[in-house]
Amino acid sequence: MDSAQIWQRYCDWLYYHPGLEFFLDISRIRFTPEQVGSLQSRFAEAFAAMQALEAGAIANPDEHRQVGHYWLRAPELAPTPELTQAIQGCIEQIEAFAEKIHHGMIPASGGGRFTELLCVGIGGSALGPQFVAEALAPQHPPLNIHFIDNTDPDGIDRVLARLAGKLGQTLVIITSKSGGTPEPRNGLVEVEQAYQKAGIPFAVHAVAITSPGSKLEVQARQAGWLEVFPIFDWVGGRTSETSAVGLLPAALQGIDIRALLAGAATMDEATRVPEVKRNPAALLALAWYIAGQGQGRKDMVVLPYKDRLLLFSRYLQQLVMESLGKSHDLKGNRVEQGIAVYGNKGSTDQHAYVQQLRDGINNFFVTFIEVLQDREPGIPSPFVEPQVTSGDYLSGLLQGTRQALYENGRDSITVTIPRVDARSVGALIALYERAVGLYAALININAYHQPGVEAGKKAASAVLELQRQVIEVVRSHAGSLTLGQLAEKVGSPERIETLYFILRHLHANGREIQLIGDPGCPLDLKIQARPT
Ligand SMILES: O=P(O)(O)OC[C@H]1O[C@](O)(CO)[C@@H](O)[C@@H]1O
């Protein structure tokens, strides 16, 4: 194609939404009109499936659940008046609570207003709030946000060290839809202990966001925590940013949650249009499908050219990969679907891996995220070269990379937003949620369950059970044992490798067990109880 044809293709396929000042360009994905035509009937089915989902169908058949995250920003569309009321009530509850915290009507136990916010949660209970905090938190927020999103003791220590001396001014949110995920439970135990050590009551600092009736809710109510906010059954973790999961931390940081919801609602309207060319989420799904031949053969590299959007790719990683990475389709055929997502930000990544993107293995397509506004209005941009600002550079580098990749047979999508504000971020979240839903319908998979995650969780609890057994056996044995003898004694010779990992970890942490000998020769090691 010559430059005039490429330009014509750009104009033909450009999507623009005037209300959101949002552009989407998929012209640099090399698809043919025939390919688009061949997907028309599948798209018709996908639009119908999405309509049924929004009307309250059981769109997550394995878990027998409705999928209602779109109702969160258009409560009037929820299938019953009770649900409409529950959604609206939750938003009002969030706003009222944030106001009381901001104005010191709920005072910190250390006196005065809360100044810090510690969010404990993992996966969908952390990634959205982290992305939104990075993108939208004001320079001087009413509460400074911190996250514990793992069960890494050192990671927890680092966060608690930052809060040293400030626990009395810290509001703690524990977020877990199930209320039983081990990582946030562990975070909660360690944070509670930190409060105890500091002699500060925990309950008057604590808030839960969880499913009604969960273990976490029961604990919060029994202990008299400040408040409990609901996560509705029909909201999945990875699509929970516009529920209390995302809205509460955002409101507490002074982010305009009504604007976030309005941006998402406007994008939802735009992505309900049952015509591919006029629906930006359908255009994205089309581009993904064609780029990866409907089998995820190409990875999605997400490159926002804006520091504030750094965590967007991480957020999308869960949204896309946990939704689309499935072994079977809805008919029970083994399909092993998915699209791998990675990326950080441009132009920084240009000095990291863009070399491979341009010249190396062609197993990806890029999504450039362009932000038109360089910096806050009113702040002048100095020239870094004659007539050129830093922002011009950023824009030039995005365009240059897009062009250089295309010239070398590498495809890309470009999403353009006017500025990083609550409205645009809400729109981006809604855009990708719908694109994932439509793509899942095209490839006929359930995007709303995550059975694969369970296998790792089950295996982990079996490891911990084995560890308990091992400690007991070694403690009650006089003298030392070899690894083989220990494996026999615990009745798990087939799990000798797991045993070795357990022992090495206990030894390294000065725990109940000692290893004597060369750690590089596991079979020669002597295992004994550590003297107390
Ligand atoms: O909010 P919960 O129930 O603690 O779950 C956290 C995360 O764990 C998963 O269930 C599995 O990784 C995610 O889908 C979810 O976002």
Q: Which atom of ligand 1 is nearest to the CA of 211?
A: 3
Q: What is the predicted pLDDT for the residue at 116?
A: 98
Q: Please tell me the distance from the alpha carbon of residue 524 to that of residue 532, in angstroms, as a whole number.
A: 24
Q: Please tell me the distance from the alpha carbon of residue 386 to that of residue 398, in angstroms, as a whole number.
A: 20
Q: Please tell me the distance from the alpha carbon of residue 179 to that of residue 176, in angstroms, as a whole number.
A: 5
pLDDT at residue 110 above 90? no
- Catalytically active residues are 322, 351, 457
Q: Please tell me the distance from the alpha carbon of residue 6 to that of residue 483, in angstroms, as a whole number.
A: 66
Q: What share of the chain is helix, strand, coil (3-state, %, to 5)?
A: 50, 15, 35
Residue nearest to ligand 1 atom 4, measured at CA: 176
CA 184 from chain centre, in angstroms, equals: 15
**Contact 266 CB / ligand 1 (< 6 Å):** no
pLDDT at residue 72 above 90? yes
Average per-residue pLDDT in the chain? 97
Q: What is the predicted pLDDT for the residue at 10?
A: 98
Judge contact between 114 and 170, C-beta under 8 A.
yes
The predicted model gives 413-442 an average pLDDT of 98
Q: Which two tokens stand for residue 92?
A: 């009002």
User: Could you tell me the distance, in angstroms and rounded to a whole number, from the CA of residue 129 to the centre of ligand 1?
Assistant: 14
* Higher per-residue pLDDT: 111 or 361: 361
**Exposure string for 314-323, b = 16+ CB within 10 A, e = fewer:** bbbbbbbbbb
**Contact 123 CB / ligand 1 (< 6 Å):** yes
Q: What is the predicted pLDDT for the residue at 21?
A: 98
Mutating to test ligand 1, I would choose from 150, 151, 178 the residue with most ligand atoms within 8 A of its C-beta, which is: 178
**Contact 245 CB / ligand 1 (< 6 Å):** no
The predicted model gives 189-214 an average pLDDT of 98
**Contact 450 CB / ligand 1 (< 6 Å):** yes
Q: How crowded is the C-beta side of 246, counted as CA atoms within 13 Å?
A: 35
Residue nearest to ligand 1 atom 10, measured at CA: 237
Q: Please tell me the distance from the alpha carbon of residue 312 to that of residue 158, in angstroms, as a whole number.
A: 24
**Contact 168 CB / ligand 1 (< 6 Å):** no
Q: Which residues contact 12 (CB under 8 A, 6 or more apart)?
A: 27
Q: How crowded is the C-beta side of 164, counted as CA atoms within 13 Å?
A: 5
**Contact 434 CB / ligand 1 (< 6 Å):** no
User: Could you tell me the distance, in angstroms and rounded to a whole number, from the CA of residue 237 to the centre of ligand 1?
Assistant: 6
pLDDT in tens, 263-304: 999 999 999 999 999 999 999 999 999 999 999 999 999 999
CA 339 from chain centre, in angstroms, equals: 15
In 3D, which of 206, 184, 183 has the Cα closest to residue 195? 206
Q: Which residues contact 76 (CB under 8 A, 6 or more apart)?
A: 84
Q: What is the predicted pLDDT for the residue at 457?
A: 87
Q: Which atom of ligand 1 is nearest to the CA of 210?
A: 1
In 3D, which of 83, 177, 126, 61 has the Cα closest to residue 451? 61
pLDDT in tens, 6-22: 999 999 999 999 999 99
User: Could you tell me the distance, in angstroms and rounded to a whole number, from the CA of residue 175 to the centre of ligand 1?
Assistant: 10
Residue 463: strand, helix, or coil: helix
**Contact 187 CB / ligand 1 (< 6 Å):** no
The predicted model gives 247-255 an average pLDDT of 98
Helix H or strand E encompassing 44: helix 40-54
Beta-carbon count within 10 A of 134 CB: 18
Residue indicated by tokens 């946030």? 184
The predicted model gives 502-512 an average pLDDT of 97
Helix H or strand E encompassing 90: helix 81-102
- Going through 58-169 in order, the beta strands assigned E by DSSP cover 116-120, 144-148
Q: How crowded is the C-beta side of 19, counted as CA atoms within 13 Å?
A: 12
Beta-carbon count within 10 A of 203 CB: 14
Q: What is the predicted pLDDT for the residue at 532?
A: 81
**Crossing angle between the packed helical segments 40-54 and 280-291, to the nearest 10 degrees:** 130
Residue indicated by tokens 């750094």? 310
Residue nearest to ligand 1 atom 14, measured at CA: 237
pLDDT at residue 259 above 90? yes
Residue 247: strand, helix, or coil: helix
**Contact 451 CB / ligand 1 (< 6 Å):** no
The predicted model gives 200-229 an average pLDDT of 98
What does the angle CA 242 – CA 243 – CA 244 come to, to the nearest 5 degrees? 125
User: Could you tell me the distance, in angstroms and rounded to a whole number, from the CA of residue 449 to the centre of ligand 1?
Assistant: 10
User: Could you tell me the distance, in angstroms and rounded to a whole number, from the CA of residue 248 to the centre of ligand 1?
Assistant: 18
pLDDT at residue 111 above 90? no
User: Could you tell me the distance, in angstroms and rounded to a whole number, from the CA of residue 450 to the centre of ligand 1?
Assistant: 9
In 3D, which of 399, 415, 400, 394 has the Cα closest to residue 300? 415
**Contact 75 CB / ligand 1 (< 6 Å):** no
Q: Please tell me the distance from the alpha carbon of residue 89 to that of residue 80, in angstroms, as a whole number.
A: 14
**Contact 128 CB / ligand 1 (< 6 Å):** no
The predicted model gives 253-268 an average pLDDT of 98
pLDDT in tens, 90-99: 999 999 999 9
User: Could you tell me the distance, in angstroms and rounded to a whole number, from the CA of residue 455 to the centre of ligand 1?
Assistant: 14
pLDDT in tens, 434-485: 999 999 999 999 999 999 998 888 899 999 999 999 999 999 999 999 999 9
pLDDT at residue 346 above 90? yes
79: confidence class by pLDDT, cuts 50, 70, 90: very high
Q: What is the predicted pLDDT for the residue at 334?
A: 98
Beta-carbon count within 10 A of 198 CB: 16
- How far are the Cα atoms of 236, 327, 519 from residue 124, in angstroms, in the given order? 8, 21, 38
Judge contact between 133 and 253, C-beta under 8 A.
yes
Q: What is the predicted pLDDT for the residue at 412?
A: 98
Strand order in the sheet with 144-148: 144-148, 116-120, 170-176, 206-210, 227-230
